[in-house]
Structures are given as C-alpha cells and as structure tokens.
Amino acid sequence: MTSRRYYPCRSTERLDAWIANPEAEQNPRLESTIEYLATLNTDYNVALDELDMVRYENQKLRAWVAHGVEPADEEPVEDPANAPRRKKARYNDPEARTYIRHHED
C-alpha cells in the first residue's frame, strides 16, 4: 500500500474527486480524518477557483489602468504547458464534491 492512497484524486477536467475508503485499515481515527480531508479538499478547490476569478479581474484592471482602454470581456488564454482547466466550481455544487470511494476499481 502506498503512502498516497488517501490523497484526493481527480480525473482530467472533472470537478468531483475521490479518496480511497479506509475500511480495511485498523486505525479507528482514519475514517473521520478521511471525511475531514474530503470536506477540506472540496472547499479548497472552490476557493482556488474564486481566487482565479479575482486574479483575472485584477489582470483586466491593471491592463485598463496601464493602457487606458477597457479590455474585452473574454476568458484568459490557456497556457499549453499547464493542465486543461476544469469547469468552475461553486460552493454547494454537488458536482464539485470530494467523495470517499467505497470499493476499489
């Protein structure tokens, strides 16, 4: 068993993530720790998306101040060196949750 088994995993361009179920482990605190991790991971991903929106708005405002021209309202150009972007996550979005996987695939 690897040390990364209980890290949140996400498929490319997906909002939801999963964590392995700790049923086989003998540590009674691990299950509540995994549930806590799933909640924190969900909130963390939504917060990162909100920060991305603020960064983008900041870039637009800086360009406007520097050039005196209001920029077009378009999405930022994606850097091909980075992973593809996921859909935007929002709080209470059921698709953006981190789940505990109850069986091994």
Cβ 6 vs Cβ 20: under 8 Å = yes
Q: Which stretches of 10-86 are DSSP H helices?
A: 30-67
pLDDT > 70 in the chain, percent: 46
pLDDT at 71: 57
| pLDDT recorded at residue 93 | 64
pLDDT of residue 36: 76
pTM of the model: 0.50
In this predicted structure, the answer to whether residue 34 has a pLDDT above a threshold of 70 is: yes
Confidence class of residue 105 from pLDDT cuts 50, 70 and 90? Answer: very low
User: Higher confidence at residue 68 or residue 99?
Assistant: 68
The residues pairing with 18 across neighbouring beta strands, listed in sequence order, are: 9, 99
- Answer for the pair 101, 61: CB distance below 8 angstroms, yes or no: no
Domain spans of the chain, in order of start: 17-101
pLDDT for position 72: 63
pLDDT, position 90: 59
pLDDT band at 4 (very low <50, low <70, confident <90, very high): low
Give the CA radius of gyration of the chain. Answer: 18
